[in-house]
């Protein structure tokens, strides 16, 4: 009978998996929901999409806690202004950062002031600046280049 050789075991400290930052997209434009959602998933974000402010508020009040909200201005049912007013009035939700994305034609400074937004982007998005903004708001390293952001630059 052959003696069994056992490898020595050691206890390794394995870092727990890092939960991806969650982005809530509130936009009635299917192209934004699909395109931006896919882009963000490829960049390592968890994406939750809603088509209007009322649905987004319902999700938030049911316990969803995104790291950042991407908010359109003009939507049916509940637009961005009404959503933001409700969000700011709710102590449990008011501190979630908001980035406005819109093709509304309003001046960036006007939207930023009216929405008390962390940033404002017009459609189509500047993907490099957009990604840097989201990473900064989510506490990630916005200085690292991702494959998509690098490709968008070229």
* pLDDT tens-place string over residues 55-111: 999 999 999 999 999 999 989 999 999 999 999 999 999 999 999 998 777 788 888
Per the CB < 8 A criterion, the answer to whether 20 and 46 are in contact is yes
Poorest-confidence range of 36-45, 97-106, 144-153? Answer: 144-153
pLDDT for position 77: 93
Give the span between the Cα atoms of 88 and 137, in whole angstroms.
17
pLDDT at 138 over 50: yes
At 124, is the pLDDT very low, low, confident or very high (cuts 50, 70, 90)?
confident
Q: What pLDDT is stored for residue 107 in this prediction?
A: 81
35 in Cβ contact with 47 (< 8 Å): no
Q: For position 150, what pLDDT does the model report? A: 39
Q: What pLDDT, on the 0 to 100 scale, is given for residue 125?
A: 86
Q: How, if at all, do strands 46-50 and 22-26 pair?
A: parallel
Overall pTM > 0.75? yes
Residue partners of 68: CB distance under 8 A and separation at least 6: 21, 23, 24, 96, 97, 98, 99, 118, 134, 137, 138
**CA dihedral (18, 21, 22, 27) positive or negative:** negative
Contacts (Cβ under 8 Å, ≥6 apart) of 121: 99, 100, 101, 102, 129, 130, 133
């Amino acid at each position: 009978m052959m003696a069994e050789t056992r490898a020595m075991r050691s206890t390794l400290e394995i870092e727990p998996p890092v939960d991806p930052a969650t982005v809530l997209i509130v936009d009635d434009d299917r192209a934004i929901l699909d395109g931006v959602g896919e882009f963000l998933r490829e960049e390592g974000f968890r994406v939750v999409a809603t088509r209007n402010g009322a649905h987004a508020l319902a999700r938030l009040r049911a316990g969803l806690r995104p790291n950042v909200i991407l908010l359109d201005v003009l939507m049916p049912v509940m637009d961005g202004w009404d959503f933001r007013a409700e969000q700011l009035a709710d102590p449990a939700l008011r501190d979630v950062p908001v980035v406005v994305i819109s093709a509304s034609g309003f001046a960036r400074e006007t939207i930023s002031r009216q929405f008390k937004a962390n940033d404002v982007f017009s459609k189509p998005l500047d993907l490099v600046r957009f990604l840097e903004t989201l990473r900064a708001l989510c506490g990630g390293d916005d200085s690292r280049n991702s494959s998509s952001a690098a490709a968008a630059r070229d």
